[in-house]
Amino acid sequence: MAKEPDSAPARLRVDLAGQVAVVTGASQGIGRAIAETLAANGAVVALVARSAAKLAEVAAAIRAAGGRAEEFPCDVSKGEAVTAVVEGVVARLGRIDILVNNAGVTRDTLLPRMSDEEWDEVLSTNLRGPFLFMRAVSRPMMQQRYGRIVNVASVSGLIGNPGQANYSASKAGLVGLTRTVAKELAGRKITVNAVAPGFIASEMTAALGPVLLDEVKKRVPAKRLGEAWEIAEAVLFLVAPSSGYLTAQVVTVDGGLIG
């Protein structure tokens, strides 16, 4: 389950009973924390990621905690695969109320050394993937005249980050995509928002090493890294039925990093 500090405050509670949520990149990290949080609040969660084995672990953990989850292995950059997943979720679970586009990859290097493949892979997963899923779920959501879509962006897409031209571009594009689709779907009672995490404790940040991590923490006004469950809490707020007038927004969860 998602890690919480020893003195964690009471968690946000939202009644999602009867709702079906699709979460991409659900096999680990932020995606897993989001999936577990939505399940803990009553949603049936369709877990999407490339690794069937890792999805099985997450699904087992959710079921052990009393929730319900189904696994849908998929490469989010492939249009036919995404369409098949959305059709499969509707066929198996009856509807789709929530979509969280969290799947993402990094291939960091400075611009002069960045290959075409490194650029294409990041844009395909981080930007094409959310486009494909939003397009696919828009039809069932419009038919039921209800939906909540949350895209996991990044502060790198808001301020840029050296060595991440591909990643920052993909996340900046995701912010623009979020705001545009929000305006297109608002009349059907479908909200579309983004969450932009800052530095979040993960395997990727741990690989930076203790010296660099200390420097990162000094830059963050909160003087610590965020936790995956804190991003999940922001997502939970945005997908709540009561958040129907909140759309086309980017919620930055970064400990005050970019102000």
Annotation marks residue 245 as catalytic: no
154 Cβ contact list (under 8 Å, min separation 6): 167, 168, 171, 196, 197
**What's the CA gap between 37 and 42, in Å, rounded?**
9
Please pick, among 131, 133, 146, 167, the residue that the annotation labels catalytic: 167
Determine contact, residues 168/119, Cβ cutoff 8 Å.
Answer: no
CA distances from 175 to 89, 155, 195, 210, 243 (A): 26, 10, 9, 31, 19
Beta bridge partners of 191: 148
Q: Which of 231, 241, 252 is nearest to 37 (CA)?
A: 231
CA distances from 146 to 214, 235, 237 (A): 44, 17, 16
Beta bridge partners of 196: 252
Q: Looking at the chain, list the stretches that DSSP marks H as alpha helix, in order from N- to C-terminal side.
A: 29-40, 52-64, 79-93, 116-123, 129-144, 156-159, 165-185, 203-206, 210-219, 228-239
Write out the catalytic residue numbers.
167
